[in-house]
């Protein structure tokens, strides 16, 4: 299942007690339409307020259904801020989270006050040194352990990630950060962005940015950037995951 959502009204992707999540909305709709209680498994978790241009999830079903009709019915039933873009059959042992080979995130910063994007970009009314921020991107790609940018008290076995690309560019009047990696730690992108903003504002030096990475200490890094300007842009899978490939 490929889907998109505006995360403004949700407490993140994952099910949680006493809070509305994207996952719970889709599970409720899917179970109602198929008349079988169905659990879906996402490719990862997005925090409260984070958006997704493309999130992927999988579910198991023995029902023979018209997938085009199921997409139409789900979109008719789901809230306007969640869209099912595609549903397709994959191999029986496929998993949306564990089979993903890369993920891409965007973070958008508005340099001018934009009242129509209050919940979709982070407004910073200061001049930032983007060249310095891109030098930090090069440093970032030379490291593999990102414990300094991970949410504390997380249950991961390793803090290692392989960052394939990281870059700041001006696009459509906004400063946009794009980062691609094989995996991300909880809160990692927002912690990186928050630290790079401090660098761009000359509150920390490039040498100190390097020290943060070497330290593996989250307390040395900057504050997490606000969630509402973060987008899960894409998730990549091997071609062979589809059952007809």
Q: Is 115 exposed, middle or buried (0-12, 13-18, 19+ CB in 10 A)?
A: exposed
Is residue 155 annotated as a catalytic residue, yes or no?
A: no
Three-state DSSP state, 241: helix
Helix axes 188-200, 206-215, angle to 10 degrees: 150
Q: Which residue has the tokens 């978790």?
A: 45
Strands (E), 50-155: 51-58, 82-86, 102-110, 122-123
Q: What is d(CA 56, CA 182) in angstroms, rounded to the nearest whole number?
A: 15
Pairing of strands 41-42, 51-58: antiparallel
**Which position among 6, 47, 73, 99 bears the catalytic label?**
47
Q: What is d(CA 94, CA 172) in angstroms, rounded to the nearest whole number?
A: 38
Contacts of 171 (CB under 8 A, 6+ apart): none
Active site residues: 47
């Amino acid at each position: 299942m490929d889907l998109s959502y505006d995360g403004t009204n949700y407490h993140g992707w994952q099910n949680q007690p006493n809070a509305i999540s994207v996952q719970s909305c889709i599970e409720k709709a899917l179970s109602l339409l198929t008349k079988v209680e169905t659990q879906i498994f996402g490719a990862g978790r997005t925090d409260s307020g984070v958006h997704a241009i493309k999130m992927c999830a999988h579910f198991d079903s023995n029902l023979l259904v018209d997938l085009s009709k199921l997409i139409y019915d789900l979109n008719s039933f789901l809230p306007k801020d969640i869209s099912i873009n595609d549903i397709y059959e994959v191999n029986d042992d496929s998993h949306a989270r564990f089979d993903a080979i890369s993920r891409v995130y965007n973070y958008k910063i508005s340099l001018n006050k934009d009242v129509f994007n209050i919940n979709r970009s982070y407004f910073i009314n200061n001049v930032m040194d983007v060249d310095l921020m891109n030098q930090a991107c090069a440093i970032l790609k030379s490291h593999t352990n990102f414990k300094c940018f991970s949410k504390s008290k997380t249950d991961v076995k390793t803090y290692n990630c392989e960052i394939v690309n990281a870059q700041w560019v001006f696009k459509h009047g906004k400063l946009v950060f794009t980062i691609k990696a094989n995996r991300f730690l909880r809160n990692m992108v927002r912690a990186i962005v928050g630290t790079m903003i401090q660098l761009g504002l000359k509150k920390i030096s490039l040498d100190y940015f390097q020290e943060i990475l070497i330290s593996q200490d989250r307390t040395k890094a900057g504050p997490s950037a606000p969630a509402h300007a973060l987008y899960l842009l894409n998730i990549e899978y091997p071609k062979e995951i589809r059952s007809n490939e």
